Amino acid sequence: MQTVSTKFNQLANGQVRPLKWEVRASFDKDFDEDVNFFELNTSLLNGGDVLAPSNNSVIQEWDKYKYINLSDRVISVEVESEQTEPYSVVQSMADITFNNYDNFFTPKSGSAIQDYILPRRPFRILMGFGNETVPLFVGLSTKLPEINKQSRTARFHCIDFLTYLFEQKIDNTVMLQDYSTGEILSYLLEHLGLLPSQYDIDPVSFNRINFFYVEKGATFGSIVRPLMQAEQGRLWMDELGIIRFLNRQNYPTTSVISYDESNVVDYDPPTDDDVINYAKITAKVLEEQDTQKLPEIAEVFSIPAGGTYEYWFSFSDPVTEINTPTYSATEIEDSFFTASLDKDGTLPYADVVLDSIDVFNKSAKLVFQNTGSSLAFVTGLVLWGKPVKVIDVIEVEESDQDSIDALELRPYEFETNYIQDRNDAVSKVSILVDDYKDVGSVIEFQAKGNPAVQIGDIGTIDLDGFQGDHVISKVINIMSIADGYTQRIRATHKDPRTYFILNQSLLNGSDVLSP
């Protein structure tokens, strides 16, 4: 739960609730360099300073935009935050419909902002009661607004900054050895241009990856989702715009809100849609090998007198290191090349030298120079280096026979290179099956809404078919003039506990032994 005042909670739980929303946007994307965090006895109330998150003192770049308040124009505002089940990342999106009677949001309309009605405009959304709101969303519009001439409205669709980052491509190959999930995340976020002050990574990760390898051009999202799946951690952007990663031991463990017939408007009956009673993980364990002769063989190529030749060498496995080849007339126990005045290699020719070598994980660029006055042939090229190979394939499965007997097989399988330890894999399939084997593991309901509720909160549910503590994994908040406030929640039944992993969990810590 976000921290709110007693008055806020009184209104949230009250009979008559004055709704309040705030929508702000920065169409010109101007920065306000004077933005600072609010300091007691220093900052002006309702001034330009923004409230710092309670446990963090960073200033996010998106806080620095100059936002205009568009709250009076709002017809409806919707914010949806969802964690991909069963374990992964949290993404948020928002839809805002504005009154556009005067064409304020219509491009080329003579509006004061007409030059700035463009995609990727920053938006902030807050909701609350009375005079108090809590932040719910920080993100960007995806495209120009949808203008409805008949109803005189303009609708913006927005994604949070993390979702925007997921679409960004990694612009060179990444190869990391012996990195934890958190360290990889930090590396990638920094690679994408974020400052360390813009994210908060749990210092402890349970997954350590011998060899992390990503091809150039992969999107950040395509890398991070399996990383989170393997870690069973949670990556999200909080309501204040800070990117956060928590390992599963640091999830909230105590219930912060209760739901029963007095504050639930409607709920879906238990279904078997989300049941998992068989889980299988297939993981390839990669490891850097000792220096050895690489199996690939180069083709013969020629270099004109005094000229150079750029030769690309491709490897089937990634390599972390290549020994620089030198000319040798005979084979040696190291990288070398042979050169000759003829294609068959019968006339050795020592005037060919290696000018440069660049190694790119699964390829290497070698530039040869012919310093002599005759046409030369490179007739052999043998490289020695350190390849990274699959040394083990872990296949681990877990099932719950009672659930299979009752509900038929409900499998969940995934392949990953990010789980490197069999015990770890065993623990993960056990957690999966244990959490999802029963009917009614997941509940979706409409609550008497409270915008302070967050993904990851634990709520205690007391409804027919659903009892006990549930972890909230999806929240939709909608406020509108016509329909008031609707909050829809999805929550997964979970005993708040984690499983002990050898060499990773703390003795006498909060992890329990896997079933």
479: its two tokens: 């406020």
Q: How far is the CB of 38 from other proteins (least distance, A)?
A: 23
3-state secondary structure of 63: helix
Q: Which helix (H) or strand (E) holds 221?
A: helix 220-231
Q: Taking CB under 8 A as the rule, which mask of x and - marks residues 68-107 in contact with other proteins?
A: xxx-xx-------------------------x-xx-x---
Distances (CA, A) of 231 to 83, 403, 416, 419: 15, 26, 11, 8
Looking at 5, 14, 203, 356, which residue binds other proteins (CB under 8 A)? 14
d(CA 345, CA 342): 6
Tell me the closest approach of the beta carbon of residue 263 to other proteins, in angstroms: 6
299 is a site residue for other proteins (CB under 8 A)? no
Place of tokens 């079933």: 515
First to last CA, the chain: 31
Strand-pair partners of 286 = 390
Binding track over 176-205 against other proteins, x by CB under 8 A = ------------------------------
Backbone torsions φ then ψ of 225, nearest 5 degrees: -60, -55
> Applying CB under 8 A, does 476 fall inside the site for other proteins?
no
Binding mask of the shown chain, residues 247 to 266, with x at each position contacting other proteins by CB under 8 A? --------------xxxxxx
Least gap, CB of 67 to other proteins (angstroms): 12
Residue 127 or 388: the one with the smaller Cβ distance to other proteins is 127
By CB under 8 A, name the one of 62, 349, 466, 485 that touches other proteins.
Answer: 485
Contact call for residues 209 and 418 (beta carbons, < 8 A): yes
SS (H, E, C) 134-151: EEEEEEEECCCCEEECCC
Considering beta carbons, is residue 104 or 418 the nearer one to other proteins? 104
What is the Cα–Cα distance from 484 to 479, expressed in whole angstroms? 5
DSSP, res 193 = T
Nearer to other proteins, 100 or 417 (CB): 100
Nearer to other proteins, 17 or 428 (CB): 17
Kindly state the smallest distance separating residue 133's Cβ from other proteins, in Å: 14
Entry field: residues in the chain: 515
Applying CB under 8 A, which of residues 2, 4, 8, 17 lies at the interface with other proteins?
17
Number of residues that bind other proteins (CB under 8 A): 29
- Cβ pair 427, 314 in contact under 8 A: no
**Residue 16 interacts with other proteins (CB under 8 A): yes or no:** yes
Residue ranges in contact with other proteins by CB under 8 A: 14-19, 68-70, 72-73, 99, 101-102, 104, 112, 261-267, 448, 463, 481, 483-485
